[in-house]
């Protein structure tokens, strides 16, 4: 009834296939029939393949080398490590801001677009404070535009700063 077919190894095409592998990728199923020697060679190749953790570590090291450096950083006051902060999302004490500054600044800029919180200006503070805050923000944008060599944008920002500075000075002399 169950007649055994003499199947040759798909890899060397010489020896009898004794190892049968089934690979499933998505909805595709692929069967491989190998001799013991070719299967052993394939297994050695698979063992040498990096693990997902190794791949992730490699990517992190390429994308953000400061994370590796920061991963060794621990706050001397509260003992919180940078990795604990990243996993919990909470700082332990006020000194953490200084200790983890190198890792915090890029994180804050990525999350909020800025590393400094400006907040809302009370209406009683007046327009002068609003203008000063806008000029500070524009100067930061100007530095970034010049750094990126986007001189057209830099010129527009510069003109806006001059415009605001002139109106600020004009208001200051009227009061």
74-85 pLDDT per residue, tens: 999 999 988 888
Domain assignment of residue 99, yes or no = yes
Say yes or no: 24 and 67 in one domain. Answer: no
Say yes or no: 108 and 60 in one domain. Answer: yes
Q: pTM, whole model, 2 decimals?
A: 0.36
Say yes or no: 34 and 74 in one domain. Answer: no
* Cα 94 from Cα 76, distance rounded (Å): 11
Residue 20 pLDDT class (50, 70, 90 cuts) = confident
Say yes or no: 60 and 21 in one domain. Answer: no
Say yes or no: 163 and 127 in one domain. Answer: yes
Domain that holds residue 139: 123-174
Say yes or no: 83 and 101 in one domain. Answer: yes
Burial class (CB in 10 A: 0-12, 13-18, 19+), 49: exposed
As a whole number, mean pLDDT of residues 8-24 equals 86
Q: What is residue 170's predicted lDDT score, i.e. its pLDDT?
A: 45
Residue 1 pLDDT class (50, 70, 90 cuts) = very low
* Cα 11 from Cα 17, distance rounded (Å): 9
Say yes or no: 169 and 127 in one domain. Answer: yes
Q: What is the pLDDT of residues 25-66, one digit of tens each?
A: 778 888 888 888 888 887 776 666 666 666 666 655 554 566
Say yes or no: 62 and 80 in one domain. Answer: yes
Q: What is residue 174's predicted lDDT score, i.e. its pLDDT?
A: 38
Domain assignment of residue 118, yes or no = no
Of 29-33, 86-90, 118-122, 137-141, the range with the lowest mean pLDDT is 118-122
Q: What's the total number of domains in the chain?
A: 3
Say yes or no: 36 and 71 in one domain. Answer: no
Say yes or no: 71 and 99 in one domain. Answer: yes
Say yes or no: 166 and 131 in one domain. Answer: yes
Place of tokens 């570590």: 57
As a whole number, mean pLDDT of residues 22-27 equals 81
């Amino acid at each position: 009834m169950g007649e055994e077919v003499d199947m040759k190894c798909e890899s060397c095409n010489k020896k009898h296939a004794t190892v049968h592998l089934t690979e499933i990728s998505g909805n595709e199923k692929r069967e491989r029939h190998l001799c013991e020697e070719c299967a052993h060679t394939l297994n050695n190749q698979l063992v040498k393949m990096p693990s997902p953790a190794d791949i992730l570590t490699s990517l992190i090291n390429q994308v953000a080398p400061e994370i590796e450096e920061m991963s060794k950083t621990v706050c001397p006051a509260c003992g919180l490590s940078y990795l604990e902060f990243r996993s919990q999302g909470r700082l332990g004490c006020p000194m953490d801001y200084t200790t983890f500054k190198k890792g915090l600044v890029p994180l804050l800029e990525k999350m909020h677009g800025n590393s400094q919180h400006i907040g809302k200006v009370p209406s009683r503070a007046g327009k002068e404070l609003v203008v000063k805050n806008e000029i500070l923000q524009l100067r930061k944008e100007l530095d970034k535009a010049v750094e990126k060599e986007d001189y057209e944008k830099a010129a527009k920002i510069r003109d806006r700063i001059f415009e605001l500075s002139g109106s600020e000075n004009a208001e200051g002399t009227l009061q």
